[in-house]
């Protein structure tokens, strides 16, 4: 059997200039960091595209192929974020709403001012709770 005092790495790099092994190690480290960043960008774009009702698989592929340029393109063309329930509107908490204004036969919504029937419990205009 062949006996050698060299390690496998020494045998691989013995014909290369000094410092080449360190250079390869640094390049591999940079490559691994770049791959981790690419995967993180892909995951973020995929989840964000799903949240915005866009085609997440297509954007995932675009970021995979184009890398950071694909992420920048996505940021430029993405649609505004939509709430889960389109009819939902942010209303002030009930403790902040003034009591409903009453007249002889009707009441008015404290949020939007719409005139409502006296027995209404929700506003037909903005959906806020009256009582």
Beta bridge partners of 129: 122
Domain assignment present for 6: no
- Same domain membership, residue 71 and residue 29: yes
Domain assignment present for 8: no
- Same domain membership, residue 73 and residue 114: no
Structural domain tally of the chain?
A: 2
Least confident of 7-16, 34-43, 60-69, 115-124: 7-16
- Same domain membership, residue 45 and residue 72: yes
DSSP, residue by residue, 29-54: HHHHHHHHHHHHHHHHHHHHHHHTTS
C-alpha–C-alpha distance, residues 56 and 42, integer Å: 10
C-alpha–C-alpha distance, residues 30 and 67, integer Å: 15
The average pLDDT across 82-104 equals 56
Tokens 């009441």 -> residue = 107
- Same domain membership, residue 99 and residue 72: no
The average pLDDT across 13-42 equals 88
Q: Per-residue pLDDT for 65 more than 90?
A: yes
Which domain, by its residues, includes 126? 93-131
C-alpha–C-alpha distance, residues 43 and 65, integer Å: 14
pLDDT-derived band at 89, boundaries 50, 70, 90: low
In this prediction, residue 108 carries a pLDDT of 79
- Same domain membership, residue 67 and residue 24: yes
Domain assignment present for 30: yes
- Same domain membership, residue 97 and residue 72: no
- Same domain membership, residue 63 and residue 101: no
Domain assignment present for 2: no
- Same domain membership, residue 66 and residue 22: yes
C-alpha–C-alpha distance, residues 14 and 112, integer Å: 80
- Same domain membership, residue 66 and residue 100: no
- Same domain membership, residue 29 and residue 62: yes
The average pLDDT across 81-98 equals 57
Domain assignment present for 87: no
C-alpha–C-alpha distance, residues 38 and 52, integer Å: 21
> Which residues are within 8 A (CB) of 48 and not within 5 positions of it... i.e. 6 or more apart?
74, 78
Mean pLDDT for the chain overall:
80
Domain assignment present for 85: no
Three-class secondary structure of residue 101 per DSSP: strand
N-terminal to C-terminal alpha carbon distance within the chain: 92
């Amino acid at each position: 059997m062949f006996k050698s005092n060299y390690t496998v790495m020494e045998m691989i790099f013995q014909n290369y200039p000094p410092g080449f092994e360190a250079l390869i190690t640094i390049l591999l480290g940079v490559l691994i960091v770049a791959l981790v960043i690419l995967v993180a960008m892909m995951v973020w774009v995929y989840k964000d595209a799903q949240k915005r009702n866009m085609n997440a698989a297509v954007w995932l592929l675009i970021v995979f192929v184009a890398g950071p340029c694909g992420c920048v393109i996505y940021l430029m063309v993405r649609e505004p974020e939509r709430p889960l329930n389109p009819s939902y509107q942010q209303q002030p908490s009930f403790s902040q709403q003034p009591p409903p204004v009453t007249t002889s036969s009707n009441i008015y919504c404290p949020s939007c001012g719409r005139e409502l029937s006296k027995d209404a419990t929700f506003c037909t205009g903005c959906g806020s709770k009256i009582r």
